Chains A and B, each alone.
Chain A
Amino acid sequence: MSGSLLLTHHISCPGGVVYTACFQSLLPKLGFPWTVRALGFLAAGVFATALPALLLSTTKDNDLQHEASESTTCAQNLPNQPSAHFFDTQALRNGPFLAYSISSLLIFLAYLVPFFYIPLFAQAILHMSRSLSYWVLAISAATSIFGRLLSAYLAKRIGIMMVWTAATTISGCLCLSWIAIQSASALIAFSGLYGTHLSRSRLNVWGVERAQCPRLTLACSSTGFFSGALVALPPAIFPRICTWPEKLGTWMGMGWLSSGVAFLVGSPIAGALLDTSWRNQEYNFLATQLWSGLLLLSGAGSLLVLWRLLVRNGQGDGVWI
């Protein structure tokens, strides 16, 4: 069954660059308004396909509503049991939840920065054409598909926390190596790798340095790591952090709050750093690159804390959560 899903997924891969491709090829011909309208019709078409199926998948939906109404009834019968709230103060006294929030704050401050500034970097520093610079972005988005799938597979084998922490560390290192990029091909490689995995030589260096930990080396050198993991894995670890299914929605919403703040301010801060370094009609990306790289590395540090807390509380099957 998962095979068929993967198949559908790979069939959709040519669509992996849909928005970018549409935008950059329609823009010169149609102008901005009709390009955006075309994207709108595209989205409408997808929703028209997806929504009936989502709305009509009655069994799942009824189960959910049933579950929901059950928990509401429980709440009415037992005043001690909280019903669905927008905010649950119990979460704020929960160590793993706090560590999770801080980690996602740090990671998502940095996560979007390369995605936002790669095209500008390509045009302003490397003097690439507009269409090529858009393709660089499309490459990083498309390769992250493989990153996500591989990270899911690895997470199943060696644990979510392992993959998440390692992926964050490597994404941070990659962002710092962005500083050294001077050529178009290097940038394409960077954006592809930020999406998916590390180059072989870099991997070997990284693997050898940490050869004491066989699992980690295996994980690194067999596949490399991904920023894709950074988005795919947080929701997956969440049920380990919030062990009460009836509060999952509330806690997940609260957890997303810290990511939301980070998403909101991360890229404008990077943009402000870019604006202040504007000299002699030229951009200097150093501050922006350091911002994303160092934040990702500190995010990895705080993930280690989360990991330690989860292991200590026994919220997982041993160390390999």
Chain B
Amino acid sequence: MFISPGSKVSRLTCATSRGLTFVFGIFQSFYETTFITTGSSSAIAWIGTIQSALLVFVGVFTGPLYDRGLYRSLLVAGTLLFLLGMFTLSWSKSFYQVLLSQGICIGLGGGLLYVPTLTLISRSFEDKRTLALSIVTCGIGIGT
């Protein structure tokens, strides 16, 4: 099984971008008990779910862009958006600011990164596709 350097590092990328979504629980509980005490459970959950939904919604557009070979642009744009979201989140003071930075910006950035890394893998490995994909998505667990 040929392992491209890409597969190892896409695991890292996946780890970083997706991991944050899966531990939204820590933010949920912190926001609910301390940070945004005025918001209800469901309002706060929207931040996390918009983030995870964008991860996959953006895939609708990045899939075809990937087919057209825009792999690198997707990666660069995704990284920049993700980091922008992280840093604007640190300056957030209220619910809508958290929603914009954590929900939308990080979600968009992660979405740009997610499908290219996965599609690349499922294309590159005919034989051990499942194993390769699982190793890549393992990054999510590691990232958390």
Contacts and interface: CB of A to CB of B under 8 A. Distances in A.
Contacts of B52: 112, 263-264
B20 A50 contact: no
A265 B56 CA distance: 13
A84 B68 contact: yes
Contact of A2 (B27, B131, B137): B131
Contact of A64 (B15, B23, B69): B69
Nearest to B33: A123
B123 to A, nearest CB: 7
Contacts of B28: 116-117, 119-120
Given A160-B130, A263-B49, A272-B42, A253 B59 contact: yes
Contacts of B3: 1-2, 5
B41 A275 contact: yes
B134 A253 contact: no
Interface in B18-51: 19-20, 22-30, 32-33, 35, 40-46, 48-50
A249 interface: yes
Nearest to A14: B142
Interface in A230-280: 231-233, 235-236, 238-239, 245-254, 256-257, 259-261, 263-272, 274-275
A115 B60 contact: no
B87 interface: yes
A60 B69 CA distance: 11
Range, interface on chain B = 35 or more
A130 B128 CA distance: 41
A60 B119 contact: no
User: What are the 9 closest A-B residue pairs judged by CB atoms, nearest first?
Assistant: A253-B63, A264-B53, A271-B42, A152-B134, A40-B86, A141-B144, A68-B69, A260-B56, A145-B141
B12 interface: yes
A156 B130 contact: yes
A137 interface: yes
A116 B48 contact: yes
A78 B27 CA distance: 52
17 contacts: A6-B135, A23-B26, A33-B91, A37-B90, A43-B86, A71-B67, A86-B63, A115-B25, A141-B22, A156-B128, A233-B134, A235-B122, A236-B133, A253-B60, A259-B56, A264-B53, A274-B41
Contacts of A269: 42
Contacts of A17: 144
Interface of A: 1-2, 5-6, 8-9, 12-13, 15-20, 23-24, 27, 32-37, 39-40, 43-44, 46-47, 49-51, 53-57, 59-61, 64-65, 67-69, 71-72, 84-87, 112, 115-120, 123, 130, 133-134, 137-138, 141-142, 144-145, 148-149, 151-153, 155-156, 160, 195, 228, 231-233, 235-236, 238-239, 245-254, 256-257, 259-261, 263-272, 274-275
Contact of A39 (B10, B53, B60, B86): B86
A249 B5 CA distance: 21
Nearest to B118: A235
Contacts, number: 326
Given A120-B41, A232-B134, A50 B13 contact: yes
A81 to B, nearest CB: 13
B135 A149 contact: yes
Interface of B: 1-13, 15-16, 19-20, 22-30, 32-33, 35, 40-46, 48-50, 52-57, 59-69, 71-72, 75-76, 79, 82-83, 86-87, 89-91, 115, 118-120, 122-124, 128-131, 133-135, 137-138, 140-144
Contacts of B24: 112, 115-116
Nearest to A159: B130
Contacts of A271: 40-45
A296 B44 CA distance: 23
B26 A275 contact: no
Of the candidates A27, A40, A142, the one having the most CB atoms from chain B within 10 angstroms of its own CB is A40
A63 to B, nearest CB: 9
A12 B142 contact: yes
Contact of A239 (B29, B40, B89, B129): B129
